[in-house]
């Protein structure tokens, strides 16, 4: 697509942007397998044990699903297959996959929801105070 979106297959043995691909032994296992697995498990427990708004639930499902996809690949194959790259002028991404998009989309939705929910609560609180005066 005019060199703005390219498909390039890369086996990423590290984490985001290949960070940690030179690690070895127990440290590699802990940082790239165990901690992400625990984070996904915690997200799954959070999602299943709390009353969440629809927006929060969707964002957590996206994060947990994307995290699970990357962890599955890393445990099963020893690496995650990244294949998408976006470039517009001097702005460009690293090479990423659909699971990464899911995680990032979930995080953006979660953050925006929290910001707007907070702003809405502040507005309601200010309106309540004005009506009492």
| Averages of pLDDT over each 10 residues, the chain, 133 residues | 88 82 84 93 95 94 96 93 93 93 96 86 68 65
The helix (H) or strand (E) run that includes residue 7 is strand 5-12
The catalytic residue among 60, 71, 95, 100 is: 100
Residue 10's SS3 state is: strand
The catalytic residue among 82, 95, 102, 103 is: 82
- Angle CA 106–107–110, to nearest 5: 85
pTM higher than the cut 0.95: no
Residue 82's SS3 state is: strand
Domain boundaries, the chain: 5-106
User: Is residue 120 flagged as an active site residue?
Assistant: no
CA separation for the pair 130, 133 (Å, rounded): 5
């Amino acid at each position: 697509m005019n060199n703005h979106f390219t498909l390039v297959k890369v086996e990423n043995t590290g984490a985001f942007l290949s960070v940690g691909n030179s690690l070895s032994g127990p440290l590699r296992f802990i940082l790239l397998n165990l901690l992400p697995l625990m984070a996904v498990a915690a997200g799954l427990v959070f999602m299943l044990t709390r009353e969440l708004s629809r927006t929060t639930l969707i964002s957590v499902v996206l994060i947990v699903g994307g995290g699970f996809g990357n962890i599955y690949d890393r445990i099963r194959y020893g690496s995650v297959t990244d294949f998408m790259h976006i470039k517009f002028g001097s702005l460009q991404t690293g090479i990423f996959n659909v699971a990464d998009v899911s995680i990032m989309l979930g995080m953006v939705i979660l953050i925006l929801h929290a910001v707007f929910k907070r702003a809405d609560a502040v507005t309601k609180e200010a309106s309540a105070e004005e009506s009492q005066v």
